[in-house]
Structure 1
């Protein structure tokens, strides 16, 4: 019996060491995506939004995410303006760096380009504020806003008629727009089309696309998310969009 227990213990030790070596040398894609995502989110919120790193990791990464994210550790270097994240403190390290005018991005060894010259900021026209008490009352209703609300602003005819913010956020806190940004961009493009300044049929959109089939991609293709680029954003798996953002995979090839 003792011999069996000894052999079993030795077998388990070998398996454990093998798992540790595997995680250290070639961690699975899911872990690399998890640490890359966490590094980017913490970096953006610490160095752009001015939030506290522990709160960002807990509220923005671990609370809504995969259970494995609860085993993430983060290290914030304010001198180099970088964030490093690892699983269990050792495995699948990822680094995100902040640069003025560029924001935060995941980086890999040796691929961080020098800072670009910062263009002078063009002051925006001051936004007119004409609070509508009825609308203000609606957006301040906690039951309607739901848990986790961070900011709601209502603009009508170019005037800010209502705004409210969650705890720890205010009008000066930059926030990630995620896919809401696509809706805003579509609205702005629609306005430009109505003004006659853009056309859905326009092609040859980017200088990087000259010389190959991408030159035929139209604005309408992009608006309909039918660019023809080899790209899969199936959130049931570790999809191309996630890998392209968090690793060094290019999706800008024609299919």
Structure 2
């Protein structure tokens, strides 16, 4: 018989969880390193390749200083040290970006598939020849960034707005540590101000982050206009329908998804979706399987997966009418909706667009869904639909929520009909119908710094002549 003392037994029991925990810590650190490499690859690919497609340039140093600085933990402590290569085709066009992260694994790959769908991050472990077989060539020297002697580029600005825009660009107001890259103000369809930070210009695209959710709602509106769907239609994915009466997710409608009210579980507030965004999983793997934990339409839970679900619902329509066709009608000539590596649009975040294109997007909503050419591409009443807080509302903050848009209906000094498309790191498209004003603010705000868009909106409106 083997006898173990009580003290020894206690020591064994205590050490097992500690060992398991240390193994988990090591696994988490390895996974976070892989995610950081995916983040770096995708940001380098998206910023540089999409800029070059627009006829302008971004350098790796510029991307490191803006997109790769001040990012969320734990990637922020890793991303800077990871070596990378930009692989180009014989034509000079980027083929893919490779970022090394582990000696025993292939580099993380972000492949550029052209100006229609931009860059996609491949799964962890995918090899270089999986993205562009036979196309890789040695990395070319980076193109020089546009020279502007280190001062902001003033395209156009009225005197009354000088101080307001200047305070946003130099970081002296609207949020400590916030970093503004571009501001555009349209007043009754006329440019009142347009200014850029050094290294950015009218052709420079930036990732929209969650402004893409408002773009997604617009694509849904276009599908409604075409008679393809109704927002009251159940989503009914094939993977759900097979469950019949036992599948509670069949009760989820497109409206629920646009209003962040599907009732599905999400693992974190905001539902970060890192496996999809930077890990190389697919929309089908990441966004669709989550279970229902509340009755659809009863609880607000901001989640990337809900927007992705709404886009899945119009997937067959997008196969025939891809986003680039709608963008062209709106005048968004330098906007790219990117996809996962299997071809599904990641329209909760992964869109690259210029400040001018987002101003055109705002104008579409000022004009009730009618383009500058006079074509109606959104149903009559769509603006009222997306700005009506008819679903459950956020329990924190001062902004309300409509269908894919945030509402400034509680902000003192701001017209109550003001609504916005908001994105991470300080992306904003503010639409003020009663004043016929659109305000675009682009930024690369670090974690912990928040640009005060409500205060900025108040100051811009105060500087503009009222009717």
Class of the TM-score when normalised by the shorter of the 2 chains: 0.5 to 0.7
**Is structure 2 residue 281 aligned with structure 1 residue 248?**
yes
TM-aligned CA distance change 1:90 to 1:222, over 3 Å = same
Whether contact under 8 Å (2:45, 2:97) holds in the other structure is yes
If the length of structure 1 is used for normalisation, what is the TM-score? Answer: 0.65
Residue aligning to 1:126: none
TM-score by length of 2: 0.38
1:107 equivalent to 2:112? Answer no
Show structure 2 runs of 5+ residues with no match: 1-22, 52-56, 134-154, 292-467
2: distance between equivalents of 1:27 and 1:91?
15
- In structure 1, C-alpha distance between the alignment counterparts of 2:241 and 2:132, rounded to whole Å: 26
Q: Quick check: 1:76–1:84 contact (8 Å CA) kept in 2?
A: yes
**Range moving further from structure 2, 131-140 or 65-74:** 131-140
Q: In the alignment, which residue of structure 2 is the partner of 1:97?
A: 111
Cα distance change on mapping 1:90 and 1:139 into 2, 3 Å:
farther
Contact 1:35 1:87 in 2 (8 A): yes
Query: How far is the alpha carbon of 1:67 from its aligned partner?
Result: 1.4
SS state of the match for residue 86, structure 2?
Answer: strand
- In structure 1, the residue matched to 2:211 is 180
Tell me the equivalent position of 1:202. 232
Alignment of 1:162-241 (within 5 A): 162-183=193-214, 201-204=231-234, 211=241, 216-229=251-264, 231-234=266-269, 241=273
1:75 and 1:83 in contact (8 A); partners too? yes
The answer to whether the aligner puts 1:87 opposite 2:120 as a matched pair is no
- Of the structure 1 ranges 149-158 and 167-176, higher mean CA displacement relative to structure 2 is found in 149-158
Q: Kindly state the Cα deviation for residue 191 of structure 1 after the two structures are TM-superposed.
A: 8.9
After the TM superposition, which of the residue ranges 158-167 and 76-85 deviates more from structure 2? 158-167
Q: Whose helix fraction is larger, Structure 1's or Structure 2's?
A: 1
Kindly state the Cα deviation for residue 176 of structure 1 after the two structures are TM-superposed.
1.0
Q: Aligned pair in 2 of structure 1 residues 225, 112: CA closer, same or farther (>3 Å)?
A: farther
* Structure 1 contact 151–166 (Cα < 8 Å) conserved: yes
Tell me, in whole angstroms, the C-alpha distance in 2 between the residues paired with 1:182 and 1:40. 19
Mark the CA change 1:135 to 1:240 in structure 2 (over 3 Å): closer, same or farther.
Answer: closer
Of 80-89 and 94-103, more deviation after overlay is shown by 80-89
Higher relative contact order structure (alpha carbons within 8 Å, sequence separation ≥ 6): 2
Distance 1:89 1:147 in 2: 37
* Distance 1:133-1:92 versus aligned 2 partners, 3 A rule: farther
Please report the RMSD computed on the Cα atoms of aligned residues, expressed in angstroms: 4.2
From 21, 30, 52, give the equivalent of 1:28: 30
Determine the C-alpha separation between the residues in 2 that align with 1:53 and 1:131. Answer: 30
Deviation at 1:61, TM superposition (A): 1.4
> Equivalent residue for 1:68?
78
- 2:41 corresponds to which residue? 39
Q: Please say if residues 27 and 92 of structure 1, whose CA atoms lie closer than 8 Å, have aligned partners that are also in contact.
A: no
Verify the 8 A CA contact 2:235 2:253 in the aligned structure 1. yes
Shift of 1:85: 0.8
Number of aligned residue pairs? 214
* Deviation readout 1:122-144 (Å, 9 max, x if unpaired): xxxxxxx9964323541122223
Contact 1:228 1:254 in 2 (8 A): no
Distance 1:130 1:69 in 2: 37
SS in 2 for 1:172: coil
Q: Which moved more, 1:90-99 or 1:75-84?
A: 90-99
